[in-house]
Amino acid sequence: MTVTDLLLAELEALCAEKGLDAYRGRQVMTWLYGKGALGYDAMTNLPQPVRQRLASEVALVSTTVKSLAESADGTRKFLIGLADGECVETVLIPEGRRNTVCLSTQVGCAMQCAFCASGLRGLKRNLRPGEIVEQLLHVLRALRADERISNVVYMGLGEPLVNYENVLKSVRILNADWGLGIGARKITISTVGLPKPMSRLAEEGLQVNLAISLHAADDATRNRLVPPNRRIGLARVLQAARDYVAKTGREITFEYVLVEGVNCTPEAARKLARLIRPVPCNVNVIPCNPVPDIGLAPPPQAAAAAFVDTLRRAGVNVNLRKRRGDDISAACGQLRLREAQ
């Protein structure tokens, strides 16, 4: 356990248990999240005996940056080392005035999506809340003077809704005024479409965004690209999406990765438009990243443009996203795979 695993009330209670003033917890949080201190030595308004006591009994953080690569397009990818020797990836994606941080939630992934490198070595374990939060802390420490974080997306390694409790706790730490103070509407949780945890998320009272990795408009194609669909089915995914919108009043984002020869024809676009029409939503379309271990390829640029144009003519709010960071293995799981070789 580290301080980054804890809510403020939990840290205050822990301080009290150790015979320290409970308000020391808020002081520690102010240094950690407000001032970016990753060691107790910097916390100069805490008496030295208190700092020494905390340092010996409650680790502040547990992760380190193993490497940092920057792409020609400005994308920066962090390889984060965990205390048990495993590692995960965190990506900073600049786009105009926006700086989006993509967080991982598991070591590996069990979803086995056909175009994604995250699950090629299987799922090792869930990340603790602190291991998720610390990814953002490392990015914040690496920002240039004129940079700010505008958005956070849980779209890195892993399926966030499988690690539900730890992900939600990390969201509350990111969102809290005593934490990192990131607005809930600037936070997006991505899922392959797990109905039960989607329903649970709708009841949390958080104004976070939900993104569903759809990638196909029929079960046969989606079964091929997103294996969990074989036991769930598109009908249940779409119903859970409608229920989420009805409960929260928040639009859904559907993510759609284009794979050559699989899901990128104009007819596939028309089928997608018909499928999602009942759901208040927008669609992010992105050509797949070529991964040598997988063998799938993105469609030609003209085919991607035709797919998007077909959706727009059908009345769908759609954005064509660019692939980012190809030169630094920035697609989910690629850098971790390269490190393991």
What is the per-residue pLDDT across 295-305, written as a single tens digit (0 to 9) for each?
Answer: 899 999 999 99
341: confidence class by pLDDT, cuts 50, 70, 90: very low
What tokens does 108 get?
């590996």
d(CA 14, CA 322): 46
Return the domain boundaries, the chain. Answer: 3-57, 64-340
- Give this prediction's pTM: 0.93
The predicted-structure confidence for 14-32, as pLDDT tens digits, reads as follows: 999 999 999 999 999 999 9
Residue 338 has pLDDT above 70, yes or no: no
Rounded to an integer, the average pLDDT of 204-229 is 96
What count of other Cβ atoms lies within 10 Å of the Cβ of residue 101? 26
User: What is the percent of the chain where pLDDT is above 90?
Assistant: 87
Neighbours of 47 (CB within 10 A): 12
For the domain with range 64-340, which CATH number is right: 3.40.50.800, 3.40.50.10210, 2.20.25.90, 3.20.20.70?
3.20.20.70
Average pLDDT of every residue of the chain: 93
Residue 293 confidence (pLDDT): 73
The stretches of the chain forming alpha helices (DSSP H) are 8-17, 24-29, 48-57, 129-142, 164-175, 195-202, 219-225, 229-232, 234-248, 266-276, 301-313, 334-340
pLDDT tens string 80-138: 999 999 999 999 999 888 999 999 999 999 999 999 988 788 999 999 999 999 999 99
**What Rg value do the Cα atoms of the chain yield, rounded?**
21
Please, which pLDDT band fits residue 50 given cuts at 50, 70 and 90?
A: very high
Per-residue pLDDT, averaged over 169-183, amounts to 98
Contact 225, 263 (CB under 8 A): yes
Name the catalytic one among 113, 264, 281, 332. 332
Beta bridge partners of 125: 107
Q: What is d(CA 267, CA 311) in angstroms, rounded to the nearest whole number? A: 10
Give catalytic status of residue 89 as yes or no.
yes
* Beta-sheet strand order (sheet of 187-191): 64-70, 76-81, 87-95, 98-102, 151-154, 187-191, 209-213, 252-258, 281-287, 318-320
- Which of 12, 89, 134, 255 does the annotation list as catalytic? 89
How far apart are the C-alpha atoms of 188 and 171, rounded to whole Å?
10
* pLDDT confidence of residue 326: 62
User: Is 332 considered catalytic here?
Assistant: yes
Contact criterion met (CB below 8 Å) for 27 and 45:
yes
Regarding beta strands 187-191 and 106-108, do their DSSP bridges make them parallel or antiparallel, or are they unpaired?
unpaired
- What is the architecture of the domain spanning 3-57? Orthogonal Bundle (1.10)
Single-letter amino acid code for the residue at 82: L
